[in-house]
Amino acid sequence: MELSREHRFPRIVHPALGLSPGLCCCNTRGDISTLNDLGRFANAEYRMEPRLTIFNRFAPSVSACLGIIRYLTPPRCVIQVGAENGVAARRFWKDLAVDRLLIIEANPTEADQISAAVTEVPDCEVVCALLGADRLESAPFFVASHRPASGCVAVEQLRALWPNVHVLENLQVPQRRLDELLDTAVDERSAQANWLVINCFPVLPILVGAGRYLDQIDVLCARVILDPEVIALDGGSVAELTAFLAVQGFRQVAVLESLHPALGDAIYVRDLRAYYEPRVLVLECEAKSLRLGFEEQRVLAADRDVQIETLIQERNAQATLLAEQKHELLQLVGMRQEESKLIAELSRQLEDANQACTEQARLAVERLTKIQELTQRLAEKTKKLSDFETQVQHAQETAIKQANVAKEKQTALEQCLKANAAQAVHISRLESERGELERRQDWLDQEMVKAEAQLELIKDVLLRQPQA
């Protein structure tokens, strides 16, 4: 597809600020048009300030366009997705002199190289992450032999652009959303970025993953497919991107063709007037509705004030009546309390009487039980007494008999005693005789001893004689 010269050398306009079409543009003849007193011609370039290069008169570049836009919409922080070459990124952003730069690269090897290359860029952070519309634990990332072909798009699809490209490595890396990445950013300024540069495709999934952070983006530069007949890639064409961003309030200000005519860089700037004008109209309509509603509310408030005054008077009357009723109620409550005390006292007395009656009934039952027990015991004792009287009578009869027997035994005893007295006299006499006999026995024992001694002596004498 042959692109027109107007397509290849577009006008660079910031419509949100109302600049004229002749501002900073390159016409179809390729020479430089008027710059409306923004600078002067010098060495085939126009400059607003020493650091601002607008563009070369034959090759307008992304850096030239962004250099102009930088003075119209200053970047608080720039996010670049896909850097490819750290040296180019260093030169690019160092020339633009941004305050804060966040580079996101999916290839871990390239991310390390970029980190080493951008050390001269002040306040630059490099994050290794693959961005997409959804969060995935594992997503394919193709490392291609040609750096711009590396990404989440299969290399086979890109051979329409680069026929000799091939896969060097097939990685499986986690995929994250851009808003999730910014939510967890170490530096808070990264979450306040208002410039977004996407140097990979497809672009739309990354923008969808930006979520609410897309509302604060003022400048967007993205790699896009200019000729969908060469390669059709979902979410990667300039038409799809323009349609998506138009809803978000962006206006396309430049489309710059790259070395490959089917690819290019599209630059979008948020059209603040077009973005906020419908919202202002809506707010004005809402304000008008609110004013009408306020008038209605004011009338209603006046009616309510009258009603409130009436209600206050009724409330005061009700309060007076309520006070009287409260006084009567307090009197009734006092009488009720007195009656309650009297009822409580009577209840207590009745309870005491019931307790006393219960106690008396219990005592009566106990006494009746004791009387029955005593009556039974009395009957038993009466029976025992009757038996005892019978026994006593028998005992008396037995005693009489025993008395007679005792008399007889007394008589016999007296006779025995007399006999015993006689026996005692006889025993005394016998004891005297026994004493005498004992004396005689002792004398005889002595005599026997003497006789035995004499016998022994005689034996000794007789035994000695034959020896002589």
Q: Please give the pLDDT value at position 206.
A: 93
- Whether residue 299 is contained in a domain is answered as no
171 forms bridges with which residues in the sheet?
141
- Whether residue 27 is contained in a domain is answered as yes
DSSP 71-111: HHS--S-EEEE--S-HHHHHHHHHHHT-S-EEEEES-HHHH
Q: Please give the pLDDT value at position 394.
A: 84
244 and 217 Cβ atoms separated by less than 8 Å: no
- Secondary structure class of 226 (helix, strand, coil): coil
Q: Please give the pLDDT value at position 38.
A: 31
Q: How many Å apart are CA 222 and CA 206, to the nearest integer? A: 11
Q: Please give the pLDDT value at position 55.
A: 36
| Chain CA centroid to CA 107, Å | 39
DSSP 285-320: HHHHHHHHHHHHHHHHHHHHHHHHHHHHHHHHHHHH
- Whether residue 256 is contained in a domain is answered as yes
- 208 is in which domain, residue-wise? 5-270
- Whether residue 375 is contained in a domain is answered as no
Here the CATH number for the domain that contains residue 246 is 3.40.50.150
Residues contacting 6, CB < 8 A, separation 6+: 28
By C-alpha distance, which of 215, 193, 219, 217 is closest to 78? Answer: 193
- Secondary structure class of 234 (helix, strand, coil): coil
- What's the number of domains the chain is made of? 1
- Whether residue 310 is contained in a domain is answered as no
By C-alpha distance, which of 58, 72, 35 is closest to 253? Answer: 72
By C-alpha distance, which of 139, 160, 138, 137 is closest to 149? Answer: 160
In whole angstroms, how large is the CA radius of gyration of the chain?
70
- Whether residue 237 is contained in a domain is answered as yes
Q: How many Å apart are CA 163 and CA 161, to the nearest integer? A: 6
DSSP 364-378: HHHHHHHHHHHHHHH
- Which residue bears the tokens 């037995």? 398
Q: Please give the pLDDT value at position 60.
A: 62
- Whether residue 403 is contained in a domain is answered as no
Query: In the chain, which residues have pLDDT < 50?
Result: 1-59, 468
- Whether residue 81 is contained in a domain is answered as yes
